[in-house]
């Protein structure tokens, strides 16, 4: 074989040769991804919420990631990642109450026309059209909402607002930046 560091050919006589074959993601990963609403990267491995800040979490609450589902890695790395995932899961299980995200979508029921656009664009199924006092309006399930704001930007009547990222706030930011 050729050694790239020495830049010359070496002859080795081993008793046992162990090959490290390519690791490929499972073929059913896309189905699981759709079922649990968790993202995959371009190579069809699961994608964590943030590489540095939340390495074993998914954006979807309560789903964690470890091992070869994430990327090709050694067994040591898989074990430490699994321990981390278990610890992260404990942070949820150990509490009696769970605090939801603050930056979720909220509906102004007076303006909402119940068109259902928010329901169709949401990847998490958080907004839902319900009948309230004989009127079709959207209602956001606060536990499911992840706060992406897709429904807010697609709401034709401006009834949907994202707390912390209200349209008025973003307009004000743009205006200030252009002064």
Binding site for another protein (CB under 8 A): 37, 39-42, 47, 49-51, 59, 103, 121, 123-124, 146-150, 152-154, 162, 165, 167, 170-171, 173-175, 177-178
Nearer to another protein, 86 or 111 (CB): 111
If the CB atoms of residues 82 and 121 are measured against another protein, the closer one turns out to be 121
Nearer to another protein, 72 or 164 (CB): 164
The closest alpha carbon to 95, from 48, 62, 65, belongs to 62
Tokens 């839902």 label which residue?
Answer: 128
Residue with Cβ nearer another protein (45 or 85): 45
Q: Name the minimum Å distance from CB 155 to another protein.
A: 9
Q: How far is the CB of 138 from another protein (least distance, A)?
A: 17
Tell the smallest beta-carbon distance from residue 122 to another protein (Å): 9
Nearest 5°: the CA angle 58, 167, 154 is: 65
Residue 136 beta carbon to another protein: minimum distance, rounded to whole angstroms = 23
Q: How far is the CB of 153 from another protein (least distance, A)?
A: 4
Nearest to another protein of 40, 82 (CB atom):
40
- How many CA atoms, within 13 angstroms, populate the side-chain half-sphere of residue 131? 1
């Amino acid at each position: 074989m050729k050694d790239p560091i020495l830049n010359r050919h070496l002859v080795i006589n081993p008793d046992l040769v162990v090959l490290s074959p390519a690791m490929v993601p499972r073929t059913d990963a896309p189905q699981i991804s759709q079922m649990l609403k968790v993202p995959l990267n371009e190579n069809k491995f699961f994608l964590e919420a943030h590489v540095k800040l939340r390495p074993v979490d998914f954006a979807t609450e309560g789903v964690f990631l470890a091992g070869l589902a994430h990327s090709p890695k050694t067994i040591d790395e898989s074990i430490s990642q699994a321990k981390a995932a278990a610890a992260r899961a404990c942070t949820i299980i150990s509490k009696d109450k769970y605090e939801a995200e603050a930056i979720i979508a909220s509906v102004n029921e007076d303006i909402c026309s119940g068109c259902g656009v928010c329901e169709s664009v949401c990847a998490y199924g958080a907004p839902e059209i319900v009948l309230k006092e004989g009127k079709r309006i959207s209602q956001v399930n606060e536990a499911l909402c992840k706060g992406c704001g897709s429904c807010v930007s697609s709401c034709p009547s401006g009834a949907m607002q994202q707390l912390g990222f209200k349209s008025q706030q973003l307009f004000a930011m743009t205006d200030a930046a252009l002064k």
